[in-house]
Amino acid sequence: MLTVGATLPLGATQAGAADNRKEPPTKPESQAIAAIHDAMRAQDCTLAASRLNEALKRKYPSAYLLAGTMYEQGVCLKPDWDRAATLYQQATAAGEPQGRLRLVAGLAAGNRDRAAAMYWALEDAGLRLPAECEAGRELRADPDAYVAQLRKWPAGRLDACVYVAGVVSAIAGEIEYPSMGMAYSIYGNYRMSFNPSAATVEWTEQELRLGDMVGVSSGDNVRDRDSGLVRQTLRRELEETSQRTLRRFTRPADVPTGWRFQQDFAFHIVG
């Protein structure tokens, strides 16, 4: 199974990683999702919708996640945020952590629902946002009390916290193992450093390994894997995702300059 994993360093949020699922995707589930993507690439939305409905009937976690994304982005389906949000919650309940991440990002984008964004961002007890954003965490079991607590926050704090939660959730929820990295069996660990007040994300390579290539490989393929283009494929995926995310979210004016956020990501193959 090919996955993008994540570790949790200094106060990091839980990352969106397939290997954090309660159960890994089964072969039929993986094949069903691949078939939907094939139909979308062929621009056959009727077939894509039909295959999606079948996957949803089988209650595949990945199908809930994909359906939510399709409704949110209006891909082969009429844009409908409410349906997308429901599907992301179903994905989360089914054990797919990217469901919560994409839900938080969607709620935070454009300040669609700031209170709900924070509520879902704090669903995971392992999430450690800046201390100011943690106020009221103990009230999360009582949504009304939690929202009342948010109303007491100083002006600007909620916008700043929603911005941080949205950016880190969107990055973690959208990173994918690039096909070139899979093909050449490239493994890597990278640390994300997010400076919210400057709206910058930097990536530090902590480890890069080349695993055994599966199947028949020519000498040219092995040499290609050692090229800078191939070796940088993981970093490019991370940088492109973070830059796309920073363009998606508007930085508020009152983000404290001292806030920092770190998270480690690991690209690896598990059996």
**10-residue stretch averages of pLDDT, the chain, 271 residues long:** 31 34 80 96 96 96 96 96 97 92 96 94 81 90 92 94 96 85 83 96 92 56 63 90 96 94 82 52
Strand residues in the chain grouped as ranges (E): 2-7, 186-195, 200-210, 261-269
Residue 11 confidence (pLDDT): 24
Residue 10 confidence (pLDDT): 23
Torsion angle of the four alpha carbons 41, 46, 49, 53, in this order, in degrees rounded to the nearest 10? -140
Residue 1 confidence (pLDDT): 26
| Helix axes 114-121 and 157-174, enclosed angle (nearest 10) | 60
Alpha-helical (H) ranges within 42-124 are: 45-57, 61-73, 81-93, 97-108, 114-121
What length does the chain have? 271
Please give the Cα distance from 49 to 58 (Å, whole number): 14
Residue 190 confidence (pLDDT): 94
Sequence-ordered list of residues with C-beta below 8 angstroms from that of 125, at least 6 positions apart, any chain: none
Residue 198 exposure: Cα atoms within 13 Å on the Cβ side: 10
Residue 214 confidence (pLDDT): 58
Residue 223 confidence (pLDDT): 56
Please give the Cα distance from 121 to 135 (Å, whole number): 13
Is residue 156 within 8 A of residue 252, CB to CB? The reply is yes
Residue 7 confidence (pLDDT): 34
Q: Structure tokens of 129?
A: 């946002």
